[in-house]
Every structure is written in structure tokens, then in C-alpha cells.
Structure 1
Amino acid sequence: MTHTIVIADDDDSVRRLVEHKLSAAGYEVESFVNGSRTWDHLQTAPVPDLCVLDVMMPGLTGLQVVERMRDDEALADVPVVVLSSRGREADVLDGLESGATDYVTKPFSPRELLSRVRLRLGEE
């Protein structure tokens, strides 16, 4: 079974890196450049197996998307890995309290991100 992962990051280089790493690992990847487009997609497409969301994006932030997901019955249980340049303890706690499953700070190791994705999908 191929898992579907939604990625949202307004930084093209980061988004392409994450897309490449996850696609190369065999995941089906759908990517977006802002939180609003991501939310629109989540409302109309089949439910993904996991989301990787940047915090600071135009439109809706990643944390706003997470909060909306947690309030939506169909999306409430989808694991979310937040990817952010904000790495202070308060920022991490905000992410987790918003409903994120995991929090990875930029700069990040693509191998570590892949490992966390696999863990959240129950593959490790």
C-alpha cells in the first residue's frame, strides 16, 4: 500500500527537497505553496495518510491548518509533522498544543524527517 503525504511549504527549495526525499522512499506526494491551498485540497481530496506542514506560510499558517484538521471529523486523526524555522521551546509547544503530532526544526536532516514520517505511519 502506498501512503499519500501532503506537503505544504512556501519555500520552493525546502518543498522540493521534502518532495524528492519522500517520493524516492515510495510515498505519493501532493505539495502546496501555502496553507489556504492546502486546506482547500484537504477538504476535497481523499484523506491523506500524513501531512508535513511549514508553520509560516501565506494565507493560513501551518498551525491554523492543523487546528482546522483537528476540528474536522475526517481529518482529526491524520498525523501532522510540523516543519519550522521557529525552534524555541515556546514555538515547539505551540505546535504540539495546536495538534501537531511531531515538530521538526529547520535546518533539518532529510533522513531524520523520513524516519519521523515512517514512525508516524507505523512503519518503524
Structure 2
Amino acid sequence: MSVTQPHVLLVEDEPAQREVLAYNLEAEGYTVSRADNGEEAMLQIREITPDLVILDWMMPLMSGIEVCRQLKTKEETRNIPVIMLSARSEEVDTVRGLETGADDYVIKPYSLRELMARVRTQLRRSRPLASGETLRFLDITLDPERHRVTRSGVELKLGPTEYRLLATFLEKPGRVLSRDQLLDLVWGSDIYVDTRTVDVHIARLRKALALGGGDDPIRTVRGAGYALG
């Protein structure tokens, strides 16, 4: 299975800075979406949930602080890591940014090498599979290096789609994912698949996990989607 590359939303109203940063992020292998104001950023996030948001503080229409506040107060977006960029270097500004919910605060002008390192750190938390880390939940283990899934020590045979589904759930345990979100994360946003297809593959994944014993770890949330645990 090829792991989908982490998706970074870059929100910066200064075109030159936005393009330089986007170029460096793409050179790291990330998929990059761009927005030049806070309102556009929120619209994009509602359509496709990114793995990381890099967010400038001072922007037209809606400030980075307000975007961050809204993201961190909503259940479906509160776990998205946010790196705040700002020319405001006073300690009180850093504290305000972090208290709003930003996961990191970078002062302009910044070193691109340092910023890329901070991006990698945040993505290891939100997309551990892309970093090659073994994922675990209760008695379920997924080893991406060996492409091996076990439950209570019993190796499970999963199809490619069921493997990607399980990996997606393991990266976001407890989080409710809608069918549309699962389609984007597992099949890709550029491929049309009927949402009922998700239900079919969830059923197959449940059947495979049952062979390892134990209760069904996938929870159906009526009217919302599915969650692991």
C-alpha cells in the first residue's frame, strides 16, 4: 500500500512568502493547499480536513488567531495541529497564540530548515503512519514497514482498501470520521466513489478483525460515520 502523503494547508496572505514556503513543503513530499485569508482557509478545511495547518497571524477578513480559535473549539477539527507564523515577537503574543490553541509558534523571519523540522514534528503526531511508525490500538498492531497487521498476536490478511481504512482509523483513534472524510482519506479526493462503498469495506474490515478474536473495535455513529473505539 502506498501511504497518502500528508496534506498541509498553508494560510499566508503574502504571495512571495506563501510560494517559497509551498515550494519547500512540496519538496519535502507533502501535498500543499494554499489560502490567502482566514475565511478561505475555513472553507477549505470544511471540504477536506488537512493533516496540518500553517497559519499566519495577520491576515485580511479573519485573523490567524480567530481561525485557530474556531478550529480548536470544534470537535471535528480540534486535533489538527496548527503552526502559527507571526512577526509579533513579544512574549505576551507567543503566549496568546499558544493559549488560543496553536501547537507551535514561529516568529518571522524564520529559518526554513527549522520550520520544516517543526512541521515534521507535528506531522509525526497527526500522521504517524507516514513517518513509518508502528500503530497500535488495544490488541491491534499495524507495522507499515513489514505491511503486517496482527490482533492478539494473530496475523490478519487484509485487502489493500481494508488496510488503508484500518491505518486511517489507527492514526485517529476515537475520532468520528464521516463517510465523505473516509473517501478523501482512503480513496483520495480526486476519485469518485459512492459513499455506500465505504460501508462495504467497513464490513469487510470488521470481518477480518473478528478473525483475531475480541469485540468489534469499530463503532458506528448514527448519522455521523465511524470511529475506532
For normalisation by structure 1, the TM-score amounts to 0.95
What's the offset of the Cα at 1:72?
A: 1.3
CA distance in 2, matches of 1:73, 1:46: 15
Q: Distance in 2 between matches of 1:84 and 1:31?
A: 17
CA displacement 1:4-55 (0-9 Å, x = unmatched): 0001011111111110110000000001111111011112x22110000000
| 1:29-40 equivalent positions in 2, closer than 5 A | 29-40=32-43
Q: Which residue among 11, 15, 33 is the counterpart of 2:14?
A: 11
**Higher RCO (CA 8 Å, separation ≥ 6 residues):** 1
Q: Which residue of 2 aligns with 1:21?
A: 24
Amino acid of the residue matched to residue 90 of structure 1? V
From 103, 111, 115, give the equivalent of 1:109: 111
TM-score by length of 2: 0.52
State the distance in 2 between where 1:21 and 1:103 align. Answer: 19
Q: Tell me if 1:86 matches 2:88.
A: yes
Q: Deviations over 1:75-108 (max 9, x none)?
A: 1000000011111101100100000000001001
What is residue 52 of structure 1 aligned with on the other side? Answer: 54
Secondary structure of the equivalent of 1:73? coil
What SS is found at the alignment partner of 1:76?
Answer: coil
Question: In 1, Cα distance between the equivalents of 2:20 and 2:77?
Answer: 25
> How many matched pairs?
123
Percent identity reads: 37
Q: Secondary structure at the match of 2:25?
A: helix
Consecutive aligned runs of 4 or more in structure 1 exceeding 4 Å deviation? none
Which runs of 5 or more structure 1 residues have no equivalent in the other structure?
A: none
- In the aligned structure 2, how far is the partner of 1:16 from the partner of 1:38? 16
Distance 1:62 1:28 in 2: 21
What is the aligned partner in structure 1 of residue 102 from structure 2?
Answer: 100
